[in-house]
Structure 1
Amino acid sequence: MTLTEQAPSGTAPAPLRDGDLASLRDSDLASLLMIRHFEWKLLDLFAEGKLNGTTHTCLGQEYIPVSLNPLLSTGDFLFSNHRGHGHYLARFADPAGLLAEITGREGAVCGGVGGSQHIFRDNYLSTGIQGESLPVAAGAALHFKRAGLPHVAVVYIGDGTWGEGSVYEALNIARLWELPLLVVVENNGISQTTPGSVNMAGTVAGRARAFDVDHHRVTSNDVRHIRAELAPLIDRVRHQHMPLVVEFDTVRLGPHSKGDDTRPAREIEAARARDWYDALRAEDPERFDRHDEEQRELIAGVAADVLARPLVAGETA
């Protein structure tokens, strides 16, 4: 389906209520843990020789799409990237379809031709080409504005993507034309194997400011606090058509892909100390462990089912 056909299907999300922020909802905890166990399972399958190629896990960053999901509507168009499993799963809760896509099995979201990085489904598109999504997202935002639709174009990028010229061209147009564009920056401090400190002059905030684009930095990994913080800001993007850059100060627990982590052990340990997993478990161990086990079993069952399916036409084991 085309963008024009899909866009009217969604309406703006309902405002958050006080009760939504009092405690972490079961659905949010389940989503966080589903993504975590999905990524862990992928790494296990690679280690067992049951997957080929490569993959880029979002371990440590799962809370970002889970936080954003209720603030977005089905009509909003999401543009993801190479590290996008969590973005997809937070939106669709479809581990079977995604794993089938990655393994080239029947039931694959895109018939097995997209693999780990390139997914298209219902106002969702991921690509491994850094920066490519920004101009496309600006075009989607322009369509929403011209059509009078209450939708937002959301694009996930990393700190390394700020080395691409298309980012700045898109920001310029988005601000000049006042487009409902939300740029979500998952800043984990390292671009593949290059630390941000030696890769980027200035700051993300400074670069957004150069185009007169609003910038907001998120340092928490608490889903409840993030939603309360971002709800009015995203509402402004949606209804006042003002672009926004939201920068998450986050961590990457694993390597860039499967085995290219050049960080010293102390940096990896520092990243793990900031992980949401143990912090949430400490709040209510019994509740956490119950959901954790449920999601572990869910993903184990999904993996067993998917790997038993035939390969899609043209695929080889």
Structure 2
Amino acid sequence: MEYKLRTEKSNITTMMEFILLGFSDIPNFQWILWGIFFIFYLTIVMCNSVIVLITRIDPTLQTPMYFFLNHFSILEICYVTVTIPRMLTDLLNQKGHVSFIACATQMCLVLLFGGLECLLLAMMAYDRYVAICNPLHYGLIMSPQVCVQLVTASWVSGVPVVIGQTWQVSSLLFCGSSAINHFFCDLPPVFKLACGDTFVNEIAVYVVAFVFIMVPFLLIGVSCGKIISNILKPRSARGRAKSFSTFSSYLTVAVLFYSTASTTYLQPRPNQSEETGKLISFLHRKIFFSFLYHVTLMFNPMIYTLRNKDVMTALRK
């Protein structure tokens, strides 16, 4: 990390700054990329805002399913607002300078909203499981109080963990290069710039990832398995189609979310000693998967809207 020392009388202030490489190696595509990501951002915000609006004002959508969908849409708006505007700014000025405080804040918010989305997807899977496999007790099990408690528990459990992770990063010492091989501040590329051993920090990240990503993923898998098993039981074709229609849109969003997120974050990261060509190749792959991930975020509300009769009816009203 770069240290800029400024001495004023007897006071010495250390100003720390990162440089996000992002799109710096492809300046010729600056305006094209800016336009694409700007359209992504507007589409995601507008579509999710419509879902938030109609699920709040339409009486027929005051159910647990749409309660969770409302919060999921809010989280998607928050997530892209933390990342895309910064990317748009970097595309315009081609500098990518970001202060340590701004970087730490972005890391904290990205981790928080990403983790909460995983937890919320698990809750939505449980909601669909109860609705399809235990419909007679659905109103009792998924009462409004229970829904509020589940969402509140997600925030309460997520905030202190993410703050702890960010504090761990802020306590590290940085030296050498200040360049982050990413479009926004994220834990793995920041760890590469730290002096000394970051083994404990990386283990803590893996533990948090297991709790907030793998545990919800396993719960989603179990719920989906039970739902599919229930749908395949002998019943009328109409009943089977109705059960599947309430589950298919959620399953599509969950699969897209986890597949694109894992593909984005499990890409091999080059070592700092590799040549520039490999770094540029890495950045180009990151651009592709960044497109893929944000396209998924853009289509999530559309999938729910176009494949759900209740939402379509509310939109017509």
- TM-score of the superposition, structure 1-length normalised? 0.28
The structure whose residues are more often helix, as a share, is 2
The structure whose residues are more often strand, as a share, is 1
- TM-score of the superposition, structure 2-length normalised? 0.28
